[in-house]
Amino acid sequence: MIFQALRIHETTGLRHLKNHEQSKQLQPENSNLDSLLVTTVIIVLNKHFNKIIYHHTYQIIVYVDKQFWVQYTVVGMNKWLYYK
């Protein structure tokens, strides 16, 4: 009913709700984007990104997971990369 009142398609509304839920899970309560990766790891990643170019975010996610055992969603990694 809410979607009809807002005049948006149901699938569009559900997609917005899903994205909103994911975005709430990306950051801890204190909204510190560096909480998962410490400063030394960030320096190592920056040096690595200067050597190797990734064409897709999921490739970076796989690299970070294998090297540092930190998991990100695509949206979370995109936000992290944007603020770094």
Q: For residue 84, which amino acid is it? A: K
Tell me the per-residue pLDDT of 33-58, one tens digit each, with 9 for 90 and over. 555 567 778 888 888 888 999 999 99
| pLDDT at residue 30 in the model | 46
Tokens of residue 75, six digits: 């949206």
- Total domains in the chain come to 1
Cα separation of 15 and 43, whole Å?
35
Range of the domain at 60: 2-83
Q: Model's pTM, two decimal places?
A: 0.55
